Amino acid sequence: MSELSYRQALHDTLREEMLRDESVFLIGEEIGVFEGSYKITAGLLAEFGPRRVRDTPICEEGFVGAAIGAAMLGLRPVVEIMTINFSLLAIDQIVNHAAKIHAMFGGQVSVPMVIRTPGGGGQQLGASHSQNIEVYYAHAPGLKVVTPATPADAKGLLRAAIRDDDPVLFVENLSLYNTKGEVPDETGRIEIGKAAVAKEGRDITVVAYSRAAVIALDVARRLEAEGISVEVIDLRSLRPLDRETVCASVRKTSRAVVLEDDWLSFGVGAEIAATIQEGAFDYLDAPVRRVAAAEVPLPYAKPLENAALPNADALIKVIREILDDTRYQR
């Protein structure tokens, strides 16, 4: 095991996969000479040259479309979109082409490409640059959507995504880039569509992904000292969604909270709540609760931005409410 930052784990995995397979190439805005807005691609242009690290104009629809064509012809492009908010400029290419070509062509051609993109708030980037819109893409059959929360998962899931024959949206939260954790030295992959039991517990299940999974794990460790045992499920993948791991946890604990950075309405939390209702309803001792962002365009002012985003205190409050209510009933 080595301790790496989330940023370094992504960089190292890209480099390893490019060394392993000459069909892997990188394409996106300012990923070469400038080495990427968040320096994930630092040094790769110098090592692999402009044929495999391709700077593009500011035209998301154009370079995502070019990557789709390259993937159809046998290459394995890894696209970097500077922020998930800019993916909206290429949503037709992603949803109507990358996601559908394999099915519409009767399985005769695949689109083995990865779209890497950061998202999330908390960085004072304004409402149009701070969104968590991965649910837009998780809604579309034909795409895979992964959201690693740790450096180890970033490495294992990126390697799996690059080697996958389907298009994968790989969502990175900006607040995670400098976080550190132990990363296996071996070149293993993490199965896309398999959630992780980040911490086992007996009293309540918290389901989360990306930055929210880090918050959930911190809360679980803090509450352990008070005798509250919280099980944390890190989804890791939004499509495919590991419904069985979620339901199995709730069948054990009988209580559930979903924590997400996205807005409350029509989001991942709503899908998880419905999943639990269908797969573990008879085991529930309390309604499924959700903790999410305020339903407003995220403010720029730091105090307002912090107030709009879910945090550990909000999650702890809901956990206590659920446990107090159900303990009183018994």
- CA distance linking residue 105 with residue 323, whole number of Å: 52
Pick the catalytic residue: 80, 102, 129, 134? Answer: 129
User: Measured in Å, how far apart are the chain's first and last C-alpha atoms?
Assistant: 45
Question: Phi first, then psi: what are they for 43, rounded to 5°?
Answer: 85, -10
* DSSP-derived pairing of the beta strands 196-199 and 230-234: antiparallel
Active-site residue flag, 60: yes
- Find residue 19's DSSP bridge partners: none
- Give Cβ neighbours of residue 110 (< 8 Å, ≥ 6 apart): 71, 72, 101, 102, 165, 166
Question: Is 9:155 a contact under the CB 8 Å cutoff?
Answer: yes
- Give Cβ neighbours of residue 30 (< 8 Å, ≥ 6 apart): 36, 37, 55, 82
Pick the catalytic residue: 17, 29, 35, 60? Answer: 60
Burial grade of 58 (CB within 10 A; 0-12, 13-18, 19 or more): exposed
Active-site residue flag, 139: no
- Residues that are catalytic: 60, 129
